[in-house]
Structure 1
């Protein structure tokens, strides 16, 4: 994420750490493993309007190998079973946006920094 925040002129190490501290929810956060090794983490948090997918971080060395897709497919099976939409936001220009769009997320709003996306249950 740092590279994208720097590209947008928005990287501030303190603000990034504080944002995670303020919204971190261990109850809804899962560790991602690649084999037996730590590969990242992701939060899928229930909300009044469905589910929020947040703090999805994967080791950059593992990008492009299908791990992110596999993790998201697993999470989205849960939201689909619940019959509820999933929401997320992604930074403007992030390559992750293409992954989210392939999995059925559509843009509902944008600002100069973030793209807010929604996926209805069962979307492809």
Structure 2
């Protein structure tokens, strides 16, 4: 799996398949990225935030985002119920805000569109918080998520780029065996 970006804002990057050895690095990344939001909600548990990722980790469906031969993030796209579910999309804080998340999302959606697959976005129950960075809010909205509202945990994007939302658009079922 290889992808890259030549944007002035986004660094060059590639995707590689995850390996079992990546799980602890990804668990730490998840804990770092989610800590502030989970603390704000009163739900941060140092062990649980890592264990939830370990419980649902799949090397088969997870890609590692690499910049300069170092792990910069990850994304999981797993098939279930006739669609691809995107989840565990985390970027290290030092690479956020430079267009990398948008570039990775664009690549993932182009691949699923080419396969004619519907994409479900599996996000935590509260979705993007109202105080989230504007780029994060726009990226989630482009993928079919709802910013600043209870999104029910998922949103969808049909093949060909049409976005659907749980409230008002395409009504998607809860992701099977969801662990996020």
CA distance in 1 between partners of 2:150 and 2:116 (Å): 25
CA distance in 2 between partners of 1:71 and 1:57 (Å): 11
Residue 6 in structure 1 maps to residue 61 in structure 2: no
Structure with more of its chain in helix, by fraction: 1
Deviations 1:51-70 (A, max 9, x none): 11111111111111011111
Aligned length: 120
Residue 66 in structure 1 maps to residue 99 in structure 2: yes
Task: Trace 1:53-92 onto structure 2 (pairs within 5 A).
Answer: 53-91=86-124, 92=126
The TM-score, its normalising length taken from structure 2, stands at 0.59
Deviations 1:20-78 (A, max 9, x none): 11110011111101233321111111111301111111111111101111111111111
CA distance in 2 between partners of 1:87 and 1:97 (Å): 17
Aligned residues: CA RMSD: 2.1
The TM-score, its normalising length taken from structure 1, stands at 0.83
Structure 2 portions without partners, runs of 5+: 1-33, 163-180
CA shift at 1:106, angstroms? 4.1
Deviations 1:60-105 (A, max 9, x none): 1111101111111111111111212111233421553431212x41
Structure with more of its chain in strand, by fraction: 1
Residue 105 in structure 1 maps to residue 144 in structure 2: yes
Structure 1 portions without partners, runs of 5+: none
